[in-house]
Amino acid sequence: MEHGYTYKYPHPAVTADCVVFGFNGQDLKILLIERGNDPYKGCWAFPGGFMNIDETAEQCAKRELKEETGLDIANIEQFHTFTDVNRDPRERVITVAFFGFARLSAVKGNDDAASAQWFAINDIPRLAFDHDKILHMAMQTLRNKVIAKQLSNSIANFTETEQQKILDMIQEQKTERITPEYISSLDKDEIFVFGSNLSGHHGGGAARIALDKFGAIWGQGVGLQGQSYGIPTMQGGVDTIKPYVDEFIEFAKVHTEYKFLVTRIGCGIAGFTDQEIAPLFRNAQTLENVWLPKSFIKNM
């Protein structure tokens, strides 16, 4: 007799994603796939996909990794389950995330992955879905395991010298979220953060881009406007900018459904330097949904 699956209440789908670290004796990198289908077609993400009815989450992660990149890993470890309600635009999706280690080798995009590629940890592109949060959590998990001396099983296939180098590199790594230098388009959950003036006259620089492309409102100088967020920078000295930056940081803390791409506010028409503005954003560095210009990060 064939059994069906019925349930009168809506219920979520389940996926598994795999954060794979590759090591060649010198460099530690992360494996990403370029999505071949919508949503986020053309964007980079971790290998993963929907779990079949007859497999475990771990089996799903290994299968998807093999199908999408050609890489086969014997040992992976579950580190977190991501359950934000709106994390996937298709439907209500929960993902179980795993991490694993492999020797750097050739990979190739297959199945619904247009391509596969190893990336340096500090050169990760913007990721699809909430995979930036998954990366941040993976790195934090690894650092905690290094401190607790609990990572030995995951890297057992490497020599003792290689293992020590991997541990040292994990402790040294910083996963920085860097705003792209040029932004011509946004995903629907991304917000363009620009320097404005209190009158909201968005006539030049990043403000003009926000007006023309990302929904900034003429006459509104502060706050969320379409897919943009204005921070006034032309009303006085740095001390007059700080309250608006603090207000933005508090806004970002509350609105975790958005990814905020901060431009070099105040460093164009307003005439300030990176050294003057960057320290205002120190408290934003720990926020998983805020990207900062590389020049700000260097001058924190």
pLDDT at 154: 93
pLDDT, tens digit, for every residue of 50-74? Answer: 999 999 999 999 999 999 999 999 8
Half-sphere exposure of 264 (CA within 13 A, CB side): 21
Q: Are 40 and 51 in contact (CB under 8 A)?
A: no
Q: How far is CA 223 from CA 41, 68, 216, 287, in A?
A: 30, 41, 10, 18
Q: Report the distance separating Cα 5 and Cα 138, nearest Å.
A: 34
Sign of CA dihedral 141, 145, 150, 153: positive
> Which among 130, 125, 101 has a CA at the least distance from the CA of 115?
125
- Helices (H) and strands (E) counted in the chain, each on its own, are 7, 12
- May I ask the CATH architecture of the domain 190-298? 3-Layer(aba) Sandwich (3.40)
Q: How far apart are CA 229 and CA 194, in angstroms?
A: 6
Domain boundaries, the chain: 13-172, 190-298
φ, ψ of residue 191 in degrees (nearest 5):
-125, 130
* 21 strand-pairing partners: 30, 101
Tens-level pLDDT at each residue, the chain (300 residues)? 466 667 788 889 999 999 999 999 989 999 999 999 999 999 999 999 999 999 999 999 999 999 999 999 989 999 999 998 888 999 999 999 999 999 999 999 999 999 999 999 888 888 899 998 899 889 989 988 998 999 999 999 999 999 999 999 998 876 668 888 888 888 888 999 999 999 999 999 999 999 999 999 999 999 999 999 999 999 999 999 999 999 999 999 999 899 999 999 999 999 999 999 999 999 998 888 999 998 998 888
What pLDDT does residue 174 have? 67
3-state DSSP assignment of residue 261: strand
pLDDT at 85 (0 to 100) = 87
CA 280 to chain centroid? 22
Q: What is the pLDDT of residue 5?
A: 66
Report H helices in 33-120: 57-69
Q: Which tokens is 43 given?
A: 């964007």
For 74-107, the pLDDT digits (tens) are: 899 999 999 988 889 999 999 999 999 999 999 9
Tell me the pairing of strands 77-82 and 93-103: antiparallel
CA distance 94 to 245: 33
Residue 1: the pLDDT is 45
Q: How confident is the model at residue 235, as a pLDDT?
A: 96
Decide if 13-172 and 190-298 have a common fold: no
Task: Give the integer Cα–Cα distance in Å for 256 and 249.
Answer: 11
Helices (H), the chain: 57-69, 131-147, 160-172, 205-213, 238-254, 274-277, 294-298
Number of alpha carbons in the 13 Å side-chain half-sphere of residue 279: 6
Other CB atoms within 10 Å distance of the CB of residue 152: 10
Q: What is the pLDDT of residue 227?
A: 97
Pick the CATH number of 13-172 from 2.40.50.100, 1.10.3720.10, 3.90.79.10, 3.40.50.10420: 3.90.79.10
Q: Give the pLDDT confidence of 239-265 residue by residue, as tens digits.
A: 999 999 999 999 999 998 999 999 999
